[in-house]
Amino acid sequence: DAGVTQSPTHLIKTRGQQVTLRCSPKSGHDTVSWYQQALGQGPQFIFQYYEEEERQRGNFPDRFSGHQFPNYSSELNVNALLLGDSALYLCASSLGPLNQPQHFGDGTRLSIL
């Protein structure tokens, strides 16, 4: 039973660039949520995707966008990268947007130079 998988595991970018992170949900799950975890902090909710639509969004600027594909996998895109975007980006999946708990992947470590 495959868990949540994320790629890549590490990424280094420079300010102003754009980045795409990918997530495959746990087998049988159809809802994907993205979180940003800055160093020494708890994860912060970015947005949630269900039925290929963004259903909920946290307090993040429009530079953060996403997509969900028919196979339930998801991408997180960040444009015009800032130094403050350096963080661990976690993907979580669940069966349905109202269901808990959410199962997490190991994350993508994004470093901005």
Partner 1 sequence: AQSVTQPDIHITVSEGASLELRCNYSYGATPYLFWYVQSPGQGLQLLLKYFSGDTLVQGIKGFEAEFKRSQSSFNLRKPSVHWSDAAEYFCAVGEGLTGGGNKLTFGTGTQLKVEL
d(CA 109, CA 19): 12
DSSP 38-80: -TTS--EEEEEEETTEEEEE-S--TTEEEEE-TTS-EEEEE-S
4 is a contact residue toward partner 1 (CB under 8 A): yes
Q: Quick one: 14 or 53, whose CB is closer to partner 1?
A: 53
Q: Taking CB under 8 A as the rule, does residue 58 contact partner 1?
A: yes
Is 67 a binding residue for partner 1 by CB under 8 A? The answer is: no
Residues that bind partner 1 (CB under 8 A): 4, 6, 31, 33, 35, 40-45, 48, 50, 55-56, 58, 90, 92, 97-107
